[in-house]
Amino acid sequence: MENVDKRVAGSLTRFYVVALMVVAFLTLGGLFLIRKTIMSLNYDGRVVNVAGRQRMLSQRLTKLSILSIESIPHADSASFDSLLHVWKESHQQLASRRLKIGTEVVTWKSRPLDEMFKRLDPVFEQIYESFLVIGNPKSPLSEKQIVLKLILEKEPVFLANMNEIVFQFDKESYARLKNLETIEWIMDIMTILVLLAEGLLIFRPVVNTTKRAIRLVTESERALAESNKKLESSNNELVKTQKDIVRIEAEKYELQLAEDRIRAAALIEGQEEERKRFARELHDGIGQMLTGLKLHAEKLMQVPFEDEKQRLRFEQLVKLIQDIIQTTRQISYNLMPSVLGDFGLSAALKLLCEQTSDSTGMQVSFEGTTERITMPQPMEIGLYRIAQEALNNAVKHAEASHIVIQLIRRESKIILVVQDDGKGFIIGNLKDQKHSFLSQNGIENIRTRTELLNGDLEIESELNGGTRLIIKLKLN
């Protein structure tokens, strides 16, 4: 036993040396992190300066564009092309997260900044292309005036986005600084705790405690031998426990499936609410603004133009605005058709068939009751989305000439049927068919929505014999 005590004492001494090495490691690690963060903060300041310079360059280029088009004398001797090149190059470096500063290249990782630059890129490209037109001496004055109007329209958007980017750079830099402060506090506390552990627990108290523990271990070996005999007689209890564990795991799996189903229902409900909100904003916001823009443009049509080309271009502009209004209305309708809430599912499906037939040239017809069927709103929306998904996939992939949507009420059941005379497929090979519209996400979306509505989905199909989807729901 005495030899064992000596070995334990030697082990504790080695542990004490290791603890000292941990303290040294924490100290050196803290210095390394502080130095690295300071260098990072230095680079952050330069990145913020470049991002801020982008706003100044944008305003300066806009000013030079106005002065150039209006032929106003100015004292700005900077080259327009040179400023435009610096503006373009700096934007590309910021967007690609590789900013060249002197002989070094600064890189960083930030998902929010990537999203901001992704939203900013279309606006930047429009302004940049417009600046290229203005900087081209061969461009006619009328075209320069048009692109200048676009620049003045898009520049506030660009400046606002750049402000957000600059603030995000500054926010992330401040976050790294706070992170450094937190790490420093943690390392200081860990160092203090290690030193306290060495003084209070490791040196003498632990040695004495370990000596007593070794004696207790020797005594416990005898108790362990007796316990082993008792364990041999408890095998039956262990088997029973294992069965209980299997049962609990099965119940846990069922609960997880139920949670997944509830989560999917909540996700779909959230998507529908977001679609409804977005459709309303498109119709009441952008749609109204575009209508006002069209009215102003039509009033301007009454003003005499200098030449026929200007008049034709303005007519094209009015037509383009009308097309945008129509497209906006169509998108708003597809997101959440108003006829669904006003007149019910039958009217919405009939209108969906008519619109699809007009837009694709296919023969798409609706069959079923024309009277409104009273049902819960989630069921109404879910059936419409199922029909919409099946119809879109049939149009894209089934190569059909005739598609029929049927809505049938049979006692306490609602039956939705989507049938086409397309190329069809073999049901057994559903997962292996790469070009079948049912082998992609379409069937999964339809199946998920059907399950969430507590319904049944049936698929009937054969090669060159068309496909038929049948969804049956109980109407509570």
For residue range 370-402, list pLDDT tens digits in order. 778 888 888 888 888 888 888 888 888 888 889
Give yes or no: residues 162 and 271 share one domain. Answer: no
Q: Indicate the DSSP class of residue 304.
A: P
Compute the distance between CA of residue 309 and CA of residue 320 in angstroms, rounded to an integer: 16
Give yes or no: residues 150 and 26 share one domain. Answer: yes
Positions in the chain whose pLDDT score sits under 50: 1-2, 432-439
Give yes or no: residues 12 and 131 share one domain. Answer: yes
pLDDT of residue 417: 92
Give yes or no: residues 309 and 436 share one domain. Answer: no
pLDDT of residue 230: 77
Which bin fits 278, alpha (ψ -120 to 50), beta or left (φ > 0)? alpha
Helix axes 235-281, 441-452, angle to 10 degrees: 100
Flag whether 220 is in a domain: no
Exposed / middle / buried, residue 236 (Cβ in 10 Å: 0-12, 13-18, 19+): exposed
Closest CA to 94 of 60, 40, 46, 128: 46
pLDDT in tens, 193-241: 877 777 776 666 666 766 777 777 777 777 877 777 777 767 677 777 7
Q: Indicate the DSSP class of residue 374.
A: P
Give yes or no: residues 241 and 193 share one domain. Answer: no
Q: Please report, as a single letter, which amino acid is at residue 322.
A: Q
Q: How many domains does the chain have?
A: 3
Query: Residue 273 has which token pair?
Result: 């609410």
Give yes or no: residues 145 and 7 share one domain. Answer: yes
Give yes or no: residues 184 and 58 share one domain. Answer: yes
Domain boundary among 291, 306, 336: 336
pLDDT in tens, 74-122: 777 778 888 888 888 888 888 887 877 767 777 777 788 888 888 888 8
Largest separation between any pair of C-alpha atoms in the chain: 113
pLDDT of residue 83: 83
Compute the distance between CA of residue 334 and CA of residue 271 in angstroms, rounded to an integer: 13
What's the domain range around 287?
236-336
Query: Residue 301 has which token pair?
Result: 């049509």
Flag whether 154 is in a domain: yes
Flag whether 48 is in a domain: yes
Give yes or no: residues 43 and 175 share one domain. Answer: yes
Flag whether 83 is in a domain: yes
pLDDT of residue 432: 47
Flag whether 230 is in a domain: no
Give yes or no: residues 198 and 315 share one domain. Answer: no
DSSP code string of 361-416: -SEEEEEE--SPPP--HHHHHHHHHHHHHHHHHHHHHS--SEEEEEEEEETTEEEE
Flag whether 209 is in a domain: no
Flag whether 318 is in a domain: yes
Residue 27 belongs to domain with CATH number:
1.20.120.1730
